[in-house]
Amino acid sequence: MTVELQIDGKEVRAEEGITILEAAREAGIAIPTLCYHTELMPHGTCRICSVEVETRGRMRTVVSCGCSVEQGMVVKTRSPRIDRIRKTLIELLAPTTAVDGELGGQMKKLAREYGADTHRFESRFRDRPTRCILCGQCVRYCDEVVGEHAIGFMGRGVDRRAVFFPEKAKACVTCQACFNLCPTGKIPSETDFVVFDGFSVDDYLAGEL
């Protein structure tokens, strides 16, 4: 079964059940993402892929990675509202990811594209940036694809951290799949390749993260 929808004015035919994000990418329309990964279940934590959707005359904002296509949908991937949402999201993420006040990689590109003021919320964040945006790509890849469960989330709210479990990290020496996934580069730069003690569960319990 296929459904017909409109994305940015373009008529798109998509397989029923796929997400707006997948349909847009098939049609060659780019939507930025930070927590999305093709091999993983949608997570919907970064919200960067938010789009405007109009169904039966009602407009709402949804995350395109977690919302399936419907017949007759009208999707806008860019609009003043969407641009403002993405700009604010980047501004909120910036203080935790910046190294010496500078953004890197994809975050830098996004900040430039959406004109984000990366210093806007700086004064309200802790001194030492965690460099983790809690996208969960490492955690989910380790669980869903590798099956080792060597890295996981601990805590809640502002104390939430991704932590390594050293006793499970034997496979990490050869795997290191999450090193390339990390959108902020925290894992490769802060993890000792042999002992994985950069941010272990024991560090978390000792209140050092």
Partner 1 sequence: MMVSTTKSKGLPKASGAVKKAVGSYGKDKEALIQVLLDLQAVFGWLPPGVLREVSEQLDVPVVQVYRIASYYKAFSLQPRGRHIIKVCMGTACQVRRSPQLLNTISAVLKMKPCETSTDGRFTLETVNCLGCCAMGPVVAIDDVYHSNPSTADLQKVFESAE
Residues that bind partner 1 (CB under 8 A): 139, 143, 149-156, 165, 167-168, 201, 204-205
H helices, E strands: number in the chain: 7, 7
* Shortest distance, position 109 Cβ to partner 1, whole Å: 32
If we measure between CA atoms, which residue out of 42, 52, 41 comes closest to residue 86?
52
* Shortest distance, position 80 Cβ to partner 1, whole Å: 37
Can you say whether residue 100 is alpha, beta or left, with left for phi > 0 and alpha for psi between -120 and 50 degrees? left
| Amino acid letter, residue 167 | E
* Shortest distance, position 38 Cβ to partner 1, whole Å: 23
Tokens of 34: 């930070």
Q: With respect to partner 1, which residue has the nearer C-beta, 43 or 87?
A: 43
Q: With respect to partner 1, which residue has the nearer C-beta, 165 or 199?
A: 165
Q: With respect to partner 1, which residue has the nearer C-beta, 117 or 144?
A: 144
The H or E element spanning position 61 is strand 58-63
Buried b (16+ CB within 10 A) or exposed e, 139-167: bbbbbeeeebebbbeeeeeeeebbbbbbe
* Shortest distance, position 69 Cβ to partner 1, whole Å: 32
- Cα-Cα-Cα-Cα torsion 119, 125, 129, 130, nearest 10 degrees, comes to -130
Q: With respect to partner 1, which residue has the nearer C-beta, 120 or 168?
A: 168
* Shortest distance, position 11 Cβ to partner 1, whole Å: 44
Q: With respect to partner 1, which residue has the nearer C-beta, 14 or 142?
A: 142
Q: Counting Cβ atoms within 10 Å, is residue 89 exposed (0-12), middle (13-18) or buried (19+)?
A: buried
* Shortest distance, position 176 Cβ to partner 1, whole Å: 17
Q: With respect to partner 1, which residue has the nearer C-beta, 154 or 177?
A: 154
Task: Please state, in angstroms and rounded to a whole number, the distance separating the CA atoms of residues 129 and 122.
Answer: 10
